[in-house]
Structure 1
Amino acid sequence: MSRGKQLRDVIFGRRSIRRYEPRPVPRPLILELLTAATWAPSAHNRQPWRFAVIESTGQKAHLAAQMGERLQRDLTADGLPVAVIQQDVARSYQRITSAPVVILLSATMADMDAYPDKRRAGHEMTMAVQSVAMAGQNILLAAHDAGLGACWMCAPLFCPDVVRDALSLPADWLPQGMLTVGYPAQARSKTRRPLGDVTIWR
């Protein structure tokens, strides 16, 4: 790896980091992460990923507030207690606004194959989403290799229209997830389920 780490160390050492130091992430380093993302495998090599990088404090606050409003409405409709709703909304807002950088990952079907039936069209959409996910994993690994921390958030899936409007994204950008990125202010240790629990051999 570029900074002396072995691939195994990067894969096994990566953790989801949710607290960051307040210092900014240099633009060249962000570009390194995005470049790594674009070298992920993709369906038909169509590279259906799109990235929106949010560094502005005001833009992060606007995005978080708009997403928070939708989250509050959804949780209220679910009948959750007000205190629980307020806690969830505040947590979501803090996670977005406290990160030095937020990278939104979107999929586009613009260059993917088109089918007249829902079955194959649905599979093609899945292929685009899988491609974006692999690009996101490259970002996570590249961030860890660079001494950064990052965390994948799935929240945009629950309010893609809100995210698209808040960031003035093109209509064909389909928000899939976002990554908070920064210099880690925490160390985390997690275990994994044994292979025997998740693997079968035939």
Structure 2
Amino acid sequence: IRRILETATYAPSAHNNQPWRFAVVTDLSVKARLTEAMAADFRRDLEKEGLPEADIAARLERSRRRIHKAPVVVILCMDATGMNNYSDPKRQQAEMTMAVQSTALAGLQLLLAVHAEGLGGVWTCGPLFTPETVRAALDLPATWQPQAMLFIGYPAESPSIPERKPLEQVALFR
């Protein structure tokens, strides 16, 4: 895991500010605390959407199972404190976008390293919906903004690759 994380830190980053942070969770009691905290928020959101209780229960159980079954859970966070500050809102928004992009690249680099080690990895975005809850459950520094949750372990299956849009729909050649 340390080698995977080290590889992730070689991702490109705007201004070389390296805003990514990794919270590595392997302890079962910490996983349980994280799961229950996020589940409460997830339930509340699903109830607001008017989903039937059976659907809510199934989605919550799937989330719980993913967190508990993964030997390693990495919360990918962004710390934008090192990014440039501008008085111009347009430039400031661009700076924050660069921090998000840099953090996402580190997450991708991490998943590529996971694969290179013969492991499996799954990226989910649940922490974006409950950043304060995740931060509190894991006692993360106030500047760490949870962006994604990655599950790492030996794959139990070899799922088929989801269908991709044809290149003609996603690329322009000029």
**Larger relative helix fraction:** 2
> Match of 2:42?
71
Which residue, 142, 151, 154 being the options, matches 2:113?
Answer: 142
> Match of 1:10?
none
Offset, 1:81: 1.1
Corresponding position: 1:106 with 2:77: yes
Corresponding position: 1:121 with 2:92: yes
Question: For 1:77-130, what per-residue CA distance to the aligned partner results, in whole angstroms no more than 9, with x for missing partners?
Answer: 111111111111111111111100001110011100011233222211111010
> Match of 1:22?
none
Structure 2 stretches lacking a partner, 5+ long:
none
Q: What's the % identity of the aligned pairs?
A: 51
Corresponding position: 1:188 with 2:149: no
Residue type at the aligned position of 2:59: D
CA distance in structure 1 between the partners assigned to 2:118 and 2:158 by the alignment: 12
Q: Runs (4+) of structure 1 moved beyond 3 Å?
A: none
> What's the C-alpha RMSD, in Å, of the aligned pairs?
0.9
Corresponding position: 1:48 with 2:19: yes
CA distance in structure 2 between the partners assigned to 1:118 and 1:91 by the alignment: 40
CA distance in structure 1 between the partners assigned to 2:159 and 2:22 by the alignment: 27
CA distance in structure 1 between the partners assigned to 2:97 and 2:51 by the alignment: 32
Residue type at the aligned position of 1:172: T
CA distance in structure 1 between the partners assigned to 2:35 and 2:93 by the alignment: 30
> Match of 1:80?
51
Which residue, 137, 153, 158 being the options, matches 1:166?
Answer: 137
Offset, 1:193: 2.2
TM-score (norm 1): 0.83
CA distance in structure 2 between the partners assigned to 1:72 and 1:189 by the alignment: 30
**SS of 1:39 mapped into structure 2:** coil
> Match of 1:151?
122
Residue type at the aligned position of 1:55: T
> Match of 2:64?
93
Residue range with higher mean Cα deviation, 44-53 or 77-86: 77-86
**SS of 2:82 mapped into structure 1:** coil
**SS of 1:110 mapped into structure 2:** helix
> Match of 2:169?
197
> Match of 2:30?
59
**SS of 1:177 mapped into structure 2:** strand
CA distance in structure 1 between the partners assigned to 2:53 and 2:100 by the alignment: 34
